[in-house]
Amino acid sequence: MELLKENILIVDDDINILELLQRHLQLLDYHIYKAVSVKQALYILKDTAIDLLITDIQMPEVDGLELIKYASEHYPKIPKLVITGYPSVDGALNVIKSGATDYLTKPFTKEELKLAVKKSIENKTVKPPLRNTRSVENLNSDMIGNSPAFKKITNTINRVKDNKATVLVQGESGTGKELVSRAIHYSGKFAREPFIAVNCAAIPENLLEAELFGYTKGAFTGANENRNGFFQAANNGTLFLDEIGNASLAVQAKLLRALQEKEITKVGAQKVEKIDVRIIAATNENLQAMIAQKLFREDLYYRLTVVQIIVPPLRDRKDDIRLLTDKFIRKYGIEYKDRILNISQEALTILERYSWPGNIRELENVIQNAVIMSDGIIDVENLPENLKFKIKFPKSTLKPLAEIEKEYIKKVLLSTNNNKTKAAEILQIDRKTLREKIK
């Protein structure tokens, strides 16, 4: 089994630059993760053991310096290499002050890139206590479980990983649909090809078509150049379309043609382009209900569901909670405290009893907080209140006036230690009336 070298995350809104960097770095035997925005980079950093972050400076919405500042505080052990086209002294100082380990000025040669990457990785100030070495065959190790539901998923992954059948992954938010999709790609024979993840809900409806299929210069206002889309970036590999239910009917029509004919057309172009892409779509929506409401194309639904994987909610795979808890304790114990913590049986019992409406994402959040707040052993007091036992009080019902009066007189007598004179004063009745009511 061949072991890959360090995991490198490259971030640039220019897909051509991403592909160029990926080719150069893969020739050096590094494993590459790519992001076209800071938001996408944060998702990868959250779920993946990254050994080096390489980012451009100028990007839409949030620039690369903001990413460097964020990574410096949240992931201080990851070296950061900035690629910049502005080699001024002030610019370089600003990059280094933001937390970058080094910077590389455009244009650069393959040898300059190789040396900069090697220097950044070797100059880590602190080596992580545990090294998470990944291999092509073992990239789905991020997925952990032993329940029958989990074994059913892994069995399906093993059946589809080496072919390009279209897969639809369904499940509630937080169940790990993207992890399943990454496992399909990275555990199969296409693992060295691109994996491009696109959140259809995060891209404005009027831009999704252009982002997916690319566009030509002048196709719309602001289209100042020819640009490839996510389909071209994922060619020969996998395109993961998350929240597919958010795609407009117009985009759905073009997706259907891409699946049927294996070709796409850029926005504003007449010429079609042949593509070889495996599509994995994911949703937490009921697509069949959307079909009934004319919000989703039935023909596209059947094209997407050549293979269907249902990722069960965590409440239906309680046997996996202990394993997932151990994983997150290890992950965040090392990240935050440089050691692995323990958890008490009482705390674990509460975790296994809870219904987890937010699924694995919620469990990870709870453990992350508990690791920070504990002093070595995660115990009941380190868990949020909403996880703990609750008394189910009966619903209040309307009572007759006589019964309410009886309960109140008992309460007053109790509060006065059965002093009838004092009780009569509080009730503003005489003692004779009180005695009659007591009888």
Tell me the pLDDT tens digit for each residue of 131-174: 332 333 333 357 888 899 999 999 999 999 999 999 999 999 99
Instruction: Determine the pLDDT at residue 161.
Output: 94
Q: Where are the domains of the chain?
A: 7-122, 136-312, 316-387, 401-438
HSE toward the beta carbon, residue 123, CA cutoff 13 A: 12
Q: How confident is the model at residue 233 (pLDDT cuts 50, 70, 90)?
A: very high
Task: Identify the CATH class of 401-438.
Answer: mainly alpha
Same fold, 7-122 and 136-312: yes
Contact 229, 211 (CB under 8 A): yes
Per the listing, tokens 């280094």 go with 96
The whole-angstrom separation of Cα 146 and Cα 20 is: 40
CATH class, domain 316-387, is: mainly alpha
The average pLDDT across 363-370 equals 95
User: In the CATH hierarchy, which fold is given to the domain comprising 136-312?
Assistant: Rossmann fold (3.40.50)
Q: Is residue 290's pLDDT more than 70?
A: yes
Band of the pLDDT at 64, cuts 50, 70, 90? confident
Q: Which of 332-346, 348-362, 377-391 has the highest mean pLDDT?
A: 348-362
Percent of the chain with pLDDT over 70: 90
pLDDT for residue 184 is more than 90: yes
Work out the average pLDDT over 392-410. Answer: 74
In the block, residue with structure tokens 């997916």: 212
* 215 DSSP 8-state letter: B
Mean pLDDT value of segment 257-271: 91
Q: How far is CA 287 from CA 48, 166, 243, in A?
A: 30, 16, 11
9-42 per-position pLDDT tens digit: 998 887 778 888 888 898 888 998 988 888 888 8
Residue pointed to by tokens 């304790």: 329
| Superfamily name and number for 7-122 | Response regulator (3.40.50.2300)
Most confident range, picked from 86-100, 116-130, 238-252? 238-252
Backbone angles phi, psi at 377, to 5 degrees: -125, 125
Distance CA 227, CA 372 (A): 45
Q: Which of 257, 129, 137, 267 is nearest to 189 (CA)?
A: 137
